Amino acid sequence: MIDFRNIVKDTDRYNFHSHTQFCDGRANMEQFAAAAAEAGFMHYGFSPHSPIPFESPCNMSFDAVAIYLDEFARLKQKYAEQTALYAGMEIDYLGKEWGPANDYFANVPLDFSIGSVHFIPSGEGMVDVDGKFENFRMKMAKFFANDIRHVVETFYSQTHDMIDAGGFDIIGHYDKIGHNAAHFSPGIEETAWYKALVDDATDHIIAAGLTVEINTKARADHSRFFPAPRHWRRLAQSGATILVNSDAHYPELIDASRAEALQMLESCATKCDCHTA
């Protein structure tokens, strides 16, 4: 098991969230490993979207898992003198029948795993509520009768259930539904009921002792971090281990917006005046 707490204490040259050719990443693993080494990263983790029990364009296939692990072993040896590489997965929680705690993942030799919610249940099966807003808007009408409160509440219900089920090390972008929800219903994140949902999730994460990521992927294009900075102070003051991950899908973005997030996080931890942006 990786000691993330000591890694964070020792260096800020790490990233434990990245996607390559095995899921929806835009380059192969060696391109990412080379970029990490060139950028002076001491620790770099691969985290393809896990296999799931139905077809998804963003998730790796079951057949690809062995190929991924073989390629990881080759790269780990090749780059051993430059960067410590780690084999991980971002595992989708779909419900009691499939998620990070499923026996399948216990038998995959991973160094770490990220637990994330991208899908929520509908009357017609699981629906991906992540991704581009244009697709989200279409799915709202098709699967959820445009009931945004139901979608948001279901997302956080799934998050709580995933935390209770366990089986993962890092919780991924746990308020990400806010991005599409805010496009669909501007101002929703300022409502009392929405704030209460995120606060409850934050409390649950702290109580579970999970490592939590600050995800910087959407900062450049959408001026957002996940979770939003308003929650960082409580996370920092709780003593939770916090990683700043870029969720990179392109090698050139492995360090994107991390310096800004690290500086803001330091402000939260020491001065308790982190930004609300």
Longest distance between any two alpha carbons in the chain, whole Å = 54
Count of CB atoms within 10 A of residue 80's CB? Answer: 10
Residue with tokens 């296999």: 51
User: What is residue 268's predicted lDDT score, i.e. its pLDDT?
Assistant: 82
Residue 245 gets the label, from left (phi > 0), alpha (psi -120 to 50) or beta, of: beta
What radius of gyration, in Å, describes the C-alpha atoms of the chain?
Answer: 18
Residue with tokens 């990070």: 100
pLDDT tens digit string along 178-229? 999 999 999 999 999 999 999 999 999 999 999 999 999 999 999 999 999 9
Q: Quick one: pLDDT band at residue 271, thresholds 50, 70, 90?
A: low
Q: Which residues, other chains included, contact 170 with Cβ-Cβ below 8 Å and sequence gap of 6+?
A: 4, 16, 17, 112, 113, 114, 115, 210, 211, 212, 213, 243, 245
Among residues 220, 126, 142, 140, which one has the least CA distance to residue 181? 140
Tokens, residue 224: 């957002």
Tokens, residue 110: 């991973």
Cis peptide before 227 (omega within 30 of 0): yes
> pTM, whole model, 2 decimals?
0.95
Confirm if 17 and 257 have CB atoms less than 8 A apart. Answer: no
Q: Which residues, other chains included, contact 105 with Cβ-Cβ below 8 Å and sequence gap of 6+?
A: 50, 89, 91, 113, 167
User: What is residue 1's predicted lDDT score, i.e. its pLDDT?
Assistant: 80
